[in-house]
Structure 1
Amino acid sequence: MDFKTVSTIGLESSPVAQALAGLRANEARYFWNKYKHEFVTEPAANNPAIVARVNTILGERDTHFETAPLEVSDFEVAGVR
């Protein structure tokens, strides 16, 4: 993700695509500034294992979302996944 140019690519189906794009750019900026890691997302449908892992973690905390995820990211940086 290019945090200097906020893009709604991959988020077009959301009624709040602009807000999501801003949040995603903020995450990209954070990981670049803190770890010099390039933040990359992919469509959630391309990696259902990530979605399942996150849903398991959220379920353990009794947290659930009504909408399906549009994009996912999975990486390890500085020993944190």
Structure 2
Amino acid sequence: MSYIVDFVNVSSVGLESSPVVEALAGLRANEARYFRNKYDHVFTVSPVSDAPDVLEWVSHILSEERDIVIASRPLEVTSFEVEGIRMAYVFYESGLSINVMYGIEDGQKRAVGFKLADGMEVPEELASRFKFARQKSKLAGVIRGSYFVIKGEY
């Protein structure tokens, strides 16, 4: 069942099994606020079992581009298009959020972003490959993030 993420009244619905549940809920709400403010898009997530193709697409890009396999259990996904950009998110039990920004037209920006919820350790599969910058969020505390540019076609 899909869930509209409320960034005013932050809820941990769907994320309860995470050891950093409140921080992950704040991170998810932070993303919802960004897309509402920038694109007037309602950020709606679903359990992975309702949209396995989103997880498969993100996992395929990670594997092909950087030989990365995420060890944590995926909890929720979303996929949508705004202003010619396909966006996909996967929220993991560990507190990791991965997003793919994929410009539909050739020459547009294409990248994979990683965000770590406050209180989680950098996952082993990412620790030696990426440096994480910090940003503060009223909804999510301290978010650490990194990214890489997608070179292939997906």
TM-score interval, normalised by the smaller of the two chains: over 0.9
| Aligned equivalent of 1:52 | 56
The amino acid of 2:76's aligned partner reads E
Residue 82 (structure 2) aligns with: 77
Q: TM-score, normalised by structure 1?
A: 0.94
Flag the structure with higher strand content. 2
Equivalent in the alignment of 1:33: 37
Which structure has the highest helix share of the two? 1
1:68 counterpart letter in structure 2: R
Distance 1:5 1:30 in 2: 15
**Partner of 2:71 in structure 1?**
66
TM-score of the superposed pair, with normalisation by structure 2: 0.51
Greater Rg, structure 1 or structure 2? 2
For 1:42 and 1:55, the matched residues in 2 are separated by 17
Q: How many residues of Structure 1 are paired with residues of Structure 2 in the alignment?
A: 81
Q: CA deviation at 1:38?
A: 0.4
Residue in structure 2 matching 1:4, options 5, 8, 12: 8
Q: Which amino acid aligns with 1:49?
A: D
Which ranges of structure 1 fall in alignment gaps of 5 or more residues?
A: none
Residue 47 of structure 1: how far off its partner (Å): 1.0
Q: Distance in 1 between matches of 2:33 and 2:22?
A: 16
Gaps of 5+ in 2: 87-154
